[in-house]
Chains A and B, each alone.
Chain A
């Protein structure tokens, strides 16, 4: 095995299966957790194989990513050209108003855009898709701990998406209370009609699916790690999914509780979130906000932790150098998980919360910047003195470090109660969380797709198309979301159908037009990704077992892996980032697989 002549791209025919490997069950027949299915239905639809379920989640998420993306384009159209008919699709979508987006349709759009992107795009793609695909392969297991629960998790998600989709077609239309669905706007007081009720059910089912996944991931990581795969040898990706699952298991039930209470308020006339009056006792709308954000802030970390894990691994892989400060990185991830439980109040500074709580939540929120800073330092330390191969997955990762830098630092602005009094509920908040939840998470998603595509589908994605997708996406993402922060700084509130209704915002219209233009570019270039994805699946170059020349366990098996993943359960003898190891270089390559034996 020799080092490649052009070490900047994936390697043709590169294969690490040549090294001698240790095995935990030498001489034993293969013991798959479940037999390979024979029928088409069992193999592709009602499969219990984590690799199939992962791909099901991935496809479901990508479809909804496209739906949510189209909604974003429509929102941007209304902000750039208020009250003008939407070109091309306007008559079809908004026939009743002559192609113009009505105020009701607009509130529906931003509500469903947020709901879909968080719960039905990013969650299934990253956690459902890559979590399922990666966790067993990366820890050296033949499947999840509970394959049937895994299948139930996907089909619960499918039921949830069906419910959400149905909500568009009921009288009065879909939910319109924002993705946060603050009471009492989301109760019968502010939202009559079935749409909001179906939304509540859909979010509940979505949460149930997430909790099932979380139980599975936690159990799998704790119980099914291959011999020798101790916690300090786990790839950071696995750490990301492991910690995310803990937060999911702890806090998604809180959202579930809020949804149950909201459902009762809407359907059975209870008053958990409806204030009482002089003639009738009642509940408190603020209770809903507490429940929502007690889940909602950990949710940010639920989504970003897998991305951090993936980036931590990929930066090391493509810098051809061990991850810098692995243990500090893991400690930082754990610290973020712990802190994420006690900061949610910063979403509620303007509800008139008590000064003691306000100051505590401010300080605790700011403390999160310490572990986050350590993560950044370790990422930079990983690149320092490396030999970076600027492949597409690497480009997306570097792009993530950039956008997450802006998104993370602007979090401090909103943690500061004084600055937040002005910035709260403006587009500054929108730009800030989109830099993290949209820009950084999408870049991580694209990095993961390009990186694991060969293992998922047995073919390589086009590097050329990947770069053609990366650069316009990266530039326009930043223009859109930094632009949003600027108009938020200029005072523009979120969720306004027509900002020019306000005198003090009228001069921002040209800015909104430019932001929308950048957004259209962003939307248009996603077609490159769609083309690359489907074309490569059919016609891409056949992938070798280890095209990226890295040492984690999924690359020691064929692409795609056999049904039972590992013929022999590997015995892990080292960490996941042994790149540039002297013993490897002596053998004419620069990485060692986690289970490779050096004699």
Chain B
């Protein structure tokens, strides 16, 4: 019976594992102390022949209050403040520092719908909504050497792009655009899930993120680019508007 967190394939996932590790230790110690004191006081101070009633004390002397306050504040400083500072540092320096200015980042537009993920990357010309865009269903190919910058929208209900091997998730919400960035560290096939209940077939809304070294990724891209021209639809008048996955002119650079 194996149990454990999925393999971490990401550049920054260790920050999450580090936070969880710190939480395990600190809350584990706090809980152990709680249980020990609870058991000791119940064993030592249970009603028995020589102990018919408890000691008459209200615990409201200055010393009692100071002691409880001191323990409470120590816990707060040792656990909460440390956690919050660690988390804020990680968020500001890594997770919330989006690679807006990084031309090397692979930009990926994600369109979520019941019950599938559609991914679009710009293709060799680096521009979205052109004929060389690469569009894939439930499968995303990325290189290991570049940051991956997602921008997500939803066609119908709220979904959540969940990447367990990258220790993160972000909601896809109708009417707004959310974003997320990750970087793969190891080549491999990693499962993509939906974390937000999105209807009857929520459990089927899954896909794969395939991380590969540059050369391999570029080889795939060349094949896919040719392939995806067949699916290019933005200005194809034969495709009804309602069936189009992408809106006209929804370009990464120009925003929404």
Contacts and interface: CB of A to CB of B under 8 A. Distances in A.
Interface string A359-371: 1001100110111
B57 A362 contact: no
B20 A286 contact: no
Contacts of A377: 68, 71-72
Nearest to B54: A321
A275 B157 CA distance: 10
Nearest to A368: B80
Interface centre among B162, B200, B203 (most CB of A within 10 A): B203
A296 interface: no
A373 interface: yes
A495 B53 CA distance: 50
A410 B27 CA distance: 7
A292 B54 CA distance: 45
Contacts of B64: 324-325, 381
Of all A-B residue pairs in the complex, the 4 with the closest CB atoms, nearest first, are A275-B175, A321-B54, A324-B59, A352-B178
Given A3-B53, A326-B60, A367-B76, 13 more contacts: A275-B174, A286-B173, A325-B58, A326-B58, A380-B37, A385-B45, A385-B55, A388-B41, A412-B79, A497-B200, A498-B203, A510-B1, A580-B53
Interface stretch (A68-76, A137-145, A414-422): A414-422
Interface of A: 3, 7-8, 103-104, 107, 176-178, 182-185, 189-190, 274-276, 278, 282-286, 319-328, 350-352, 355, 358-359, 362-363, 366-367, 369-371, 373-374, 376-378, 380-390, 398, 401-402, 405-406, 409-410, 412-413, 415-419, 421-426, 486-487, 489-491, 493-499, 501-504, 507-508, 510-511, 577, 579-582, 585, 590
A405 B59 CA distance: 22
Contacts of B59: 322-326, 378, 381-382
A384 B169 contact: no
B199 A185 contact: yes
B231 interface: no
A507 B6 CA distance: 11
A508 to B, nearest CB: 7
Contacts of A382: 59
Contacts of B193: 493, 502
A418 B87 contact: yes
Given A286-B173, A328-B65, A412 B80 contact: yes
Contacts of A409: 27, 30-31
A582 B54 CA distance: 11
A272 B119 CA distance: 29
Given A176-B200, A184-B156, A590-B53, A493 B195 contact: yes
Contacts of A370: 72-73, 75-76, 80
A421 B204 contact: no
Given A374-B68, A590-B53, A417 B87 contact: yes
Given A107-B199, A424-B195, A491-B5, A418 B54 contact: no
Contacts of B80: 366-367, 369-370, 412
Given A190-B157, A490-B4, A504 B191 contact: yes
Contact of A418 (B19, B41, B76): B19
B54 A325 contact: no
B37 to A, nearest CB: 5
A351 B2 contact: no
A321 B42 CA distance: 13
B175 A103 contact: no
Contacts of B86: 418
Contacts of B48: 387
Contact of A421 (B34, B51, B83, B95): B95
B203 A374 contact: no
Given A182-B197, A369-B76, A189 B157 contact: yes
Given A190-B157, A369-B76, A504-B191, A328 B68 contact: yes
A282 B45 CA distance: 64
Given A285-B158, A286-B173, A388-B42, A103 B56 contact: no
B52 A590 contact: yes
Contacts of A183: 158
B141 interface: no
B57 A385 contact: yes
Contacts of A579: 53-54, 56
B175 A276 contact: yes
Contacts of A398: 38, 42
A389 B195 CA distance: 47
A491 B6 contact: yes
A371 to B, nearest CB: 8
30 contacts: A107-B199, A178-B197, A285-B175, A321-B53, A322-B56, A324-B58, A350-B160, A350-B170, A352-B176, A362-B88, A369-B79, A374-B68, A385-B55, A387-B45, A387-B54, A388-B41, A388-B45, A389-B46, A398-B42, A409-B30, A416-B84, A422-B169, A423-B20, A424-B169, A425-B160, A486-B3, A490-B5, A493-B193, A507-B2, A580-B54
